[in-house]
Amino acid sequence: MRILLKSVLVQDSQSDYYNQRVDMLAEKGRWVRIAPSIDEKADVLIDQPGLSWAPSLVDLRVHHTLPGGEFKEDWNSLTSAAKKGGVLDVVLLPTGNPVPQQPEAIQLIQSKSENFGVHFHPMAPLSIDNKGENFSDLFDLHRAGATWFSHGAGSLQQVDLFTKSLQYLQTLPVTLVSRPDTEALSLYGQIHEGLQSTLLGLKGIPVLSETLSIKRDLDLLAYVMDNSFGHRHANFRLHFSCLSSRTSVDLIREAKKNGLPVSADVAIHSLVFTEEAISEFDTMKKVNPPFRSEDDLAGLWEGMEDGTIDAVVSDHCPHEQEAKEVEFDHADFGTIGLETLFLMWKKQAELRNVPHWDRLVSENPARLAGIQSVGLAEGGIVKGIVYQSGEAYAYQLADIVSKSKNSVFLGEVFTDRILHVLHGENILYSY
């Protein structure tokens, strides 16, 4: 099939055509010609005012509800949400029930990519059933294709088990993920420990619960590296997910300066809201880690600007209606975000004048996940987003294709709209 796109502004900073307006002709899933003007026949013509092209997104943090959580999200709705958001590579946390902890389970999840057109990259659990008691079969899971490992969606509290996880996995080209949290400090917490938690009478989650966990993990990583006797693999990495505070960014920045193999991401909603967003007890804005202070928000953006933070993620965490429409302290943590990651990140990046904004949701996360990422070029595979900038519209409940509707961005006004998502010969989504 031949697909011709007319007068498209290339917003792919890896491409030689970056910031140029060109025509793009694809045949059999590859770009056969890119030029200022192309006048050839095509099976599909995409020709509208104000079109732009961006690379597809790589989301490093999506909560997996399958099996066992089909009422929250099933394979069809998960894939539909990813396609609509232009997220064609999805890294899934090992959070199903039962936990996908056998080599066959890893391979089954990977095989879903063949059926849905979205590539699924399953993380493997560090311990059996994410209980933090006994190791999973780390080496067998890696041989089955797992390259990322985590303790469910959180941080492994047992120091000895985490240390041994570092020791075992450092010999492999893998990433160990920690969503830093000291559970003894955050237990029963509802929002950021600060002014709003005092005014609203809600137990707070202190920044210390996050930073203490990061300090512990960095100390253990340094200890393991000092005693690796040359066995550490060059591509081993400790990745901190969903940073939320300035101090956390400072710790990661210093660790990178000291040569530790670390990386970090931040959830898109943590770059938008502060603790004041909770003042009306909106359960849609109940997330973990919580929205923190204005100074923390500024610190996150500084970390983005200087490269301390490597990627922006959705932290897509679907919940059924009943889990959110309850009293605030009984509501579940989490928001969906696959469908809005591109729209909200581009909006925030433009407001903050972030150069090469696409890299933090495409090139960088692809590199971290070991996914080949190349810029738009003749001969290259067709894989990206066609979007249009123009009339403002509000994001509404009816816009959501995910089975769960718990979006923190309901009511948000966008001026960009994804019109098409292309992969190979297929148009996976059209508005």
Instruction: Determine the pLDDT at residue 23.
Output: 98
Map out the domains of the chain as residue ranges: 2-53+378-430, 56-369
pLDDT-derived band at 71 (thresholds 50, 70, 90) equals: very high
Instruction: Determine the pLDDT at residue 359.
Output: 97
Instruction: Determine the pLDDT at residue 116.
Output: 81
Percent of the chain clearing pLDDT 70 (strictly above) = 100
Instruction: Determine the pLDDT at residue 254.
Output: 98
Render 177-241 in DSSP notation, one character per residue.
Answer: EE----HHHHTT--EETTHHHHHHT--EE-HHHHHHHHHHHHHHHHHHHHTSTT---TT-EEEE-
Instruction: Determine the pLDDT at residue 221.
Output: 98
The C-alpha atoms of residue 107 and residue 144 are separated, in whole angstroms, by 6
Tokens of 262: 């670390």
Tokens of 394: 């509000």
Lowest mean pLDDT among 109-123, 124-138, 184-198, 411-425: 109-123
Contact of 323 with 406, CB cutoff 8 Å? yes
Instruction: Determine the pLDDT at residue 113.
Output: 86
What CATH code is assigned to 2-53+378-430? 2.30.40.10
Paired sense of beta strands 175-178 and 237-240, if any: parallel
pLDDT reading at 103 higher than 90: yes
Active-site residue, from 217, 296, 315, 358 = 315
Instruction: Determine the pLDDT at residue 60.
Output: 98
Radius of gyration over alpha carbons of the chain, in Å?
21
Instruction: Determine the pLDDT at residue 68.
Output: 93
**Does the annotation count 416 as an active-site position?**
no
Task: Determine the topology of domain 56-369 in CATH.
Answer: TIM Barrel (3.20.20)
Tokens of 221: 């990583």
Query: What are the pLDDT digits (tens) for 15-40?
Result: 999 999 999 999 999 999 999 999 99
Q: What is the mean pLDDT of residues 164-169?
A: 97
Instruction: Determine the pLDDT at residue 423.
Output: 96
Which residues are CB-neighbours of 252 under 8 A, at least 6 positions away? 214, 240, 243, 262, 264, 303, 308, 309
Query: What are the pLDDT digits (tens) for 105-163?
Result: 999 999 998 778 899 999 999 999 999 999 999 999 999 999 999 999 999 999 999 99
pLDDT reading at 316 higher than 90: yes
Q: Which residues of 329-346 are buried (b: 16+ CB within 10 A; e: fewer)?
A: eebebbbbbbbbbbbbbb
CA distances from 236 to 89, 156, 269 (A): 21, 18, 28
pLDDT reading at 367 higher than 90: yes
